[in-house]
Structures are given as structure tokens and as C-alpha cells.
Chains A and B, each alone.
Chain A
Amino acid sequence: MRGMWLLLWVRLCAVKNDLVRLNRERLFRIAFFGIAGLLFLIFDYYFFYRIFTRLQAPELDIYLVENILISQLIGMITLALSSVLIFSNIIASLSTLYISRDLNLLLSSPLSHTRVFIGKYIQTAVNSSYMVLIFGLPIFFALGRVYEQGVIYYLTITGLMIPFLVIPAGVGILITMLLMRFFPAQRIHQIFTFLGMVFAGILIFFFRYLRPETLYTDITDLEQPEFISMLNSFAVPDNPFLPSTWLTHVINGFLGMEEGVISQNVIFLILGAVVVFIVVVCIARFIYFSGFSQSFESGSRGGARRVFRLSMLDESFRFLHHTQRAIMIKDIKTFFRDPTQWSQLFLLVSLIVIYLFSIRTLPVQDSFTENLTSFLNLGLAGFVISALAVRFVFPTTSLEGYSTWIVFSSPLSMRQFLWSKFFISVLPLICMGELLIVSSNMMLRVDQFFMLLSSITILVMSVSLTALGVGMGAIFPRFNYENAAEIAGGIGGIFYMVVSLGYIGLTIAIQAWPVSNYFRSLLYPEVFDPRILVMSIVMLLVLNLVVFILPMRLGFRNLERMEY
């Protein structure tokens, strides 16, 4: 047990020291994420509370239907949580068991490998499960409230989360250990990252295509075949050996949908967790350390590795200055050779498809609603662009990381540096913005005025949001990161999101003026006033000039003033 406690103690010490030495930035981050997390918990709880209340609606007056629907929904949720847990444990265990920096110290210490492994097992389970717990528990609590359950229900469900989390952790860790032991280690991290992104994309598709909004459909009016097909769409695998099935049975038992199943399935869950834990630890005794040492025998040194050459890039961007071209080619090559970076494009594709799918399924019928939706859609598309910018544009300066010495000791001026970062980012964002807006406008069949207005607006927005991202990324650079995703999560990234949302809101507010004038002029042509249009264009011009120029200038200055 000593190894496990030592690891736990080290983690607690790190957390304690972090809390004791809170600086303003960390305090801000904790407050921001604390509030955002709390809001998410409340939203999660009430969202599912509404769904369960709706499904339990007395007007249905069909007890059986209500039970089937809720039971299917619980089954779906527990199965989805288990799948996510297994996958996140595979990814997390690769890092905690094979890459983590403390492993050299721990495995060279007198602690037995098994003890180190058990400590790491717990660390993996905690790291990869807490988000699932935060998402899952409010759902089960909302169910408890709808069915007016007592304290025993809440305590049992909370307690059962431990075995429910330990089992997928064991399965995930086992898969990683087997892969690391029996396959060449050199590409495993990249493959995992890639698979992780594909999995996340599939999960989003899966959730969106279930069309959760159909839960709000008034099913009393549905024809019987439609009703049966809707029930079937919620059917989930009900395998008696799955922990998700055991947990579903326990919840069903509490809610009175099944009888005499609680104690049996509680025992299944606890015993299952103990057995999985023991089996995984026993297997680890034989394969963990050999897999760990094998991970150093990468075989990538020298000439064996295939390189994704991207040679055509070397002859591109000839119209640019040497130095800017050098930075751009370097950035593109490093992006496409790093799976942790490019695999996020899968999420992006999922996002676009879901976005357009959602627009297509919007219940808009008349041309007024279509045009209005198209206008409001600008705000949503702007938000998507700013979310992309915070992940891909804002970190561009910080991504120079530990290699700043080569860039900043060279004769490259900060202006050239930042402009090259701008040019490399602006085109993809414009394409993305136009793709979202033009395709959704075509689906909405908007008139020419709105097509022109929204296409030009999204073009300007994409350019300004890029400059804002590049500029603010240079005002708040973070060169000592371990993971590129950390950069967007810092104080600068949060500040960028706040400013960009304010900018999008202002843009929509300024445009609302001529748009409402245009709507009225469709009915009463004499009210059309071109001065309103001109004034709003001037205001937008000023706003965009400020958002474009100010952060870039401050970014230049900050980089020139900075010490590396």
C-alpha cells in the first residue's frame, strides 16, 4: 500500500502547494472554471430533470410506455458513460503508465513495480473518470428527484460509482498494457490520439443523430408504427455481463420498474470491480514493466521512420518574404506531422456536419423566419469561428515553445513573425466561416440581400477574429506548456473568448438596425432608409478596425518587450 499512498500524498502535496501559492491568474482560472462547472452541473441536472418529467407526463397515461422509455434512456446513458470511460482510460493510462515524467524516479526506487502500478491505476481512474462523474451523477440525481427517492437511493448510486468507474479503468488499462507489450511502441501514442479524436467525433454524431429533441415530441399524436420505431430507436444492448446493465438494473429496481434486482446487481458491480482490479494487477505483474522498458526501444532513431514529406510546400508561398515563408512552411509541416494537432480536424468535420444537419432540421417554413434565422445564424457561426480560433489561432505564438531561441535570436522582426502567423490562419477560418454561412443560407433558401449580408459579415468577422487571436496570443504567450491544448485554457484564452463573444454580439447588435429596417421595408417599401445601412456600415468598420489593429499592435509591442 505504501507506493499507492506515496503517489497519492505527492498529488495532494502538489494540489496543496498550488492552492497555498495562488497567484492572480490561477485564482481567476479557478473562479472561471468553478463557475462554468457549476453552471454546467445545474444545466445538466435541469436538462435531464425536464426530460424525465416530460417522459413521466401524466397525460400519457400509459405506465408501461413511460417505464420502457425511461429504462431505455438510463440504459443508453450508462452504456455511453461506460464506453467513454473505457476509451478515456486507454488514453489516460498510456500517459500515466508509460510516458509520465515521474515513472523513471518511481520505477528506479525500491518500491515494487506492482505497488507503483496500483498507484498509477488509481491515478488513471481518477484522471479519466472525474468528468464522467460530474456529467453522470446529476442525471441520476435528477431521476431520483422525479421519482421522489430517499437518501438510500442517492447514497447507493454515489457509492456504486466507485465500482462503475473501477471496471472500465481496469479494462482500459489492460488494453493499453497489451498494446504496449505486443506492438511496436513508436506509433502507439499517435494512433491512440487519432483513435480518440475519431471516437469523439463518432460519439458526437451518435448523440446528434439520436435527435434528443424528439424526446419533446408529443407522442400522444403519433401513429402506432411511428411510435414503435421511436421506441426502437432507443433500444440499447442489454448484455447481462456489462457493468452498465448492472447499474441500469439497480436504478430500475429503485424506481420500481423491476423487482428483486437491487442487491443482486449491487453485488455484481462490487464483485466485478474487485475481480477486474485483481486480474489486471496480476496480469500487470507479467507484462507492465516489460512493456514499459520496450517503450524506449522505439527503433525510430536513424532511418527507419517514414516522413510525411509535404515537399510541394517547399515551392509554395513564393510571393512572400523569405522569413515569412519559412515560418509558414514550418508551421504547416509541423501541424500535419503531429497527429495530436491534425487529428482534431476530425472533430472539426463532425462539428460542421452537425451544424449543417441542425440547420436543415430547423422547423422554419416562411421566408420571414428563414431570413431571420439566417441573420441570427451569423452569431452562431461567429461563435464557432471564435471557438476554432481559440484552439488553433490563439496558440500560434505559444506553439514556438522551447524553440523560441531560434526564432527570436534570428533577424526576423516581430512584425514579420506575427503577420506570418496571421496569414497562415486567416484563410482556413474564412473558408470555414463561408462554408457554414453559405451552406446554411442555401438550406434556409434566404433572399439575395441576406445571402450577401451574411457572407460579407462572416468574411469580415473571420478576418477580425483571426487578428484578435494572433494579437492576443502574442499578448498572452505561454511557452512552457506540456500539451498544446493547455494554451487555450489559460487566462489569455479565456480573455480571448470573452472579447470575441463581445465583438460578435456587438456586430449582430449593429446589424440588427438595418436588418429590421429591411424587414419592415418588405411590407412598407417607403420606410427603407439607406442612411441606416450606411451608418451601421461605418460603425462596423470602426469596430473591426479596432478589433483588427489594436490586438496586433499590442502583440507586436509585447513580443518586442518580452524577454525569452
Chain B
Amino acid sequence: MITIEGLVKDYGKIRAVNNLNLTVGDGEFFGFLGPNGAGKTTTIKIMAGLLRATSGSVSINGFDISRDTVDAKKVTAYIPDKPFLYDKLTGREFLRFVGELYNMERSKIDVKTDELKEIFSMSEWIDELIEGYSHGMKQKMVMSSALVHNPEVIIVDEPMVGLDPRSIKLVKEMYTDLAGNGVTIFMSTHTLEHAQQMCQRIGIINRGELVAVGTIDELMKTAHTRHRELEEIFFTLTEEERREGAA
């Protein structure tokens, strides 16, 4: 479960996130949408413990990310939008490295690695250096590293960028299955179609503020529209905000 209360983040004079309040339940697949510069990545980085909030709090499964940092991180997996890996490690070594960072036993890591190797069809190249991987292979490796320690919460920023249709299908199925098995997923994306297909609830952030949150039906009500297409709802809500901001 993720609880965000009164979250504020300032970069100097610029307020990137403004009084964000949000709760994501256990096993829920939550989509986080917003235009460029809306504050999505900042929020996600605070949740992952990579940025400190100016005020407010984020707690993951009851652990406050700024107070109980290590405990909160133990149950979380974070996948950034541009995940750089250690080029000079092999895929297997990288997974072992991540597993040990999360304090796993070597034997358990090896079992999990074999399992992930099959799921992501990585057998042919898991023992090669990462520097030789294609973008898609690297994405699979990052996803595997997020799953190696069996996280209870996954925070993922733009997971489909650069993936081929087959991989996108695999990722979608995988996240849906994980959510079905009780893993909480917080996903930021620009691809509205994916958010609509995968997420149980969606939050829309604009100019650092949460402008709407809920299921598609609830968002329709907030946007005063009869269109069930998320794209239409998104543009209606963010455009309203833009106009109000300009006024």
C-alpha cells in the first residue's frame, strides 16, 4: 500500500509537486498520467527514495520513506525511465548483484534468475556482457532486476518506451499478473491506451497538482464528458487546468 500525504517538492523557486495526496491499495494497479513537466518523475523519485520531499510524506507498506528508508526500500522495486546498467557485468552477474543488495541468499537468487531467464527468454544472452545488449534486452534485464527480490510494491516510470510489440504484450501481461497476485504497481506512462487497458485506477497530475483520480467512470464524471476514451478525458482535464492557470 502506498500513501502520499501533502507531498510538496520545490526546485529552488519552482514548485514541481504541490500538495499531492494519494492512496494506492494493496495489489492495486495504479496509473499515473500527466503532460511533460507535470511532476510525475519527481513524485516517483521521491517514492523511490532518490529525492527528498520539501514537505509531506510518502509511506510504502507502512514505512515512511524518509524515516524508515531502508525498510521501505526493502519491499519496493523501482524501474526508472532511463535505466543505465553496469555495462561490464553479465546479465546473470547483474541480477546476483541486485539480489545481494536486497539481502537475498545466493541460492535463492540463482533459482529466481533461472525462473526470470525463462520468463523473459534471456537464456541465450544472460551470460554475456550487458554492453552488447539491445535496448529491448536491457529493458528485460531491468525488469528482471526489479522482480528478483519479489517486491511487494513496484514503482515504474514509462515501462514501454523502446519495446517491440511482443515485449510490450509480455510486460503488460506480467504487470497485470503481478497485480493479480497482490503486488501493488504504481506506473507512470504517456501511453494512455496502455493505462486504460492495464490500470484499475488512474491519477492525472498537471503542473504538480493532482487534477483527477479514480476509475475511468469516475474520471468521466470529473471531466464532465461522455467519452470513455482516456485520451479524451486526459485532454479535457489538462486543458481545463491550462486555461484556469492562464486565467
List A residues at the B interface (Cβ < 8 Å): 298, 300-303, 305, 307, 314, 322-323, 325-327, 329-330, 333-334, 337-338, 401-413, 561, 563-564
Contacts of A338 in B (CB 8 A): 88
Docked-complex contact B93 and A333, CB < 8 angstroms: yes
Assuming the contacts A334-B88, A334-B89, asked whether A406 and B127 have C-beta atoms less than 8 A apart, the reply is: no
Contacts of B97 in A (CB 8 A): 326, 329-330
Docked-complex contact B80 and A307, CB < 8 angstroms: no
Docked-complex contact B129 and A307, CB < 8 angstroms: yes
The size of the chain B interface, using a CB distance under 8 A, is 41
Contacts of B48 in A (CB 8 A): 405, 409
Q: Which of A300, A314, A408 contacts B49 (CB 8 A)?
A: A408
List B residues at the A interface (Cβ < 8 Å): 45, 48-52, 70-71, 73-74, 76, 78, 80, 82-86, 88-90, 93, 96-104, 124-125, 127-129, 131-134, 145
Docked-complex contact A337 and B132, CB < 8 angstroms: no
Contacts of B133 in A (CB 8 A): 301
20 residue pairs bridging A and B, Cβ less than 8 Å apart? A301-B134, A302-B132, A303-B125, A323-B101, A326-B96, A327-B101, A330-B86, A330-B89, A333-B89, A334-B86, A337-B88, A402-B82, A404-B50, A408-B50, A409-B73, A409-B78, A410-B98, A411-B101, A411-B102, A564-B51
Contacts of B101 in A (CB 8 A): 322-323, 326-327, 406-407, 410-412
Q: Which residue of A lies closest to B74 (CB)?
A: A411
How near does chain B come to A528, taking the closest CB pair, in angstroms?
54
Q: Which of B83, B88, B104, B132 contacts A333 (CB 8 A)?
A: B88
Q: A300-B132, A410-B102 are in contact. List 6 more A-B contacts (CB 8 A).
A: A302-B125, A302-B128, A323-B101, A403-B84, A406-B98, A561-B52
Contacts of A305 in B (CB 8 A): 128-129, 132
Contacts of A403 in B (CB 8 A): 84-86
How near does chain A come to B104, taking the closest CB pair, in angstroms?
7
Greatest chain B CB density within 10 A among A322, A323, A329 is at A322
Docked-complex contact B73 and A410, CB < 8 angstroms: yes
The 4 nearest A-B residue pairs measured at CB:
A326-B100, A402-B84, A337-B88, A410-B101
How near does chain A come to B113, taking the closest CB pair, in angstroms?
13
How far, in whole Å, are A298 and B76 apart by their CA atoms in the complex?
37
Contacts of A405 in B (CB 8 A): 48, 50, 78, 80, 83-84
Assuming the contacts A301-B132, A305-B129, A403-B84, asked whether A314 and B98 have C-beta atoms less than 8 A apart, the reply is: no
Contacts of A327 in B (CB 8 A): 101
Q: Which of A298, A301, A563 contacts B50 (CB 8 A)?
A: A563
Docked-complex contact B50 and A564, CB < 8 angstroms: yes
Q: Which residue of B lies closest to A300 (CB)?
A: B132
Docked-complex contact B128 and A322, CB < 8 angstroms: no
How near does chain B come to A328, taking the closest CB pair, in angstroms?
10
Q: Which residue of A lies closest to B75 (CB)?
A: A411
How far, in whole Å, are A411 and B71 apart by their CA atoms in the complex?
7
Contacts of B84 in A (CB 8 A): 401-403, 405
Q: Which of B52, B103, B127, B145 contacts A411 (CB 8 A)?
A: B103
How far, in whole Å, are A305 and B52 apart by their CA atoms in the complex?
41
Greatest chain A CB density within 10 A among B73, B80, B85, B97 is at B97
Q: Which residue of A lies closest to B83 (CB)?
A: A405
Docked-complex contact B131 and A300, CB < 8 angstroms: yes
Docked-complex contact B103 and A406, CB < 8 angstroms: no
Q: Which residue of A lies closest to B145 (CB)?
A: A406
Assuming the contacts A322-B104, A337-B129, asked whether A314 and B50 have C-beta atoms less than 8 A apart, the reply is: no
How far, in whole Å, are A20 and B199 apart by their CA atoms in the complex?
49
Q: Which of B74, B80, B100 contacts A322 (CB 8 A)?
A: B100
Contacts of B104 in A (CB 8 A): 322
How near does chain A come to B234, taking the closest CB pair, in angstroms?
28
Assuming the contacts A402-B84, A409-B48, asked whether A303 and B128 have C-beta atoms less than 8 A apart, the reply is: yes
Docked-complex contact B88 and A323, CB < 8 angstroms: no
Contacts of A409 in B (CB 8 A): 48-50, 73, 76, 78
How far, in whole Å, are A428 and B125 apart by their CA atoms in the complex?
34
Q: Which of B49, B80, B83, B124 contacts A303 (CB 8 A)?
A: B124
Greatest chain B CB density within 10 A among A302, A330, A338, A401 is at A330
Docked-complex contact B145 and A413, CB < 8 angstroms: no
Q: Which residue of B lies closest to A310 (CB)?
A: B93
How far, in whole Å, are A303 and B98 apart by their CA atoms in the complex?
23
Contacts of A314 in B (CB 8 A): 96
How far, in whole Å, are A302 and B82 apart by their CA atoms in the complex?
22
Docked-complex contact A563 and B52, CB < 8 angstroms: yes
How far, in whole Å, are A502 and B8 apart by their CA atoms in the complex?
44
Docked-complex contact A302 and B129, CB < 8 angstroms: no
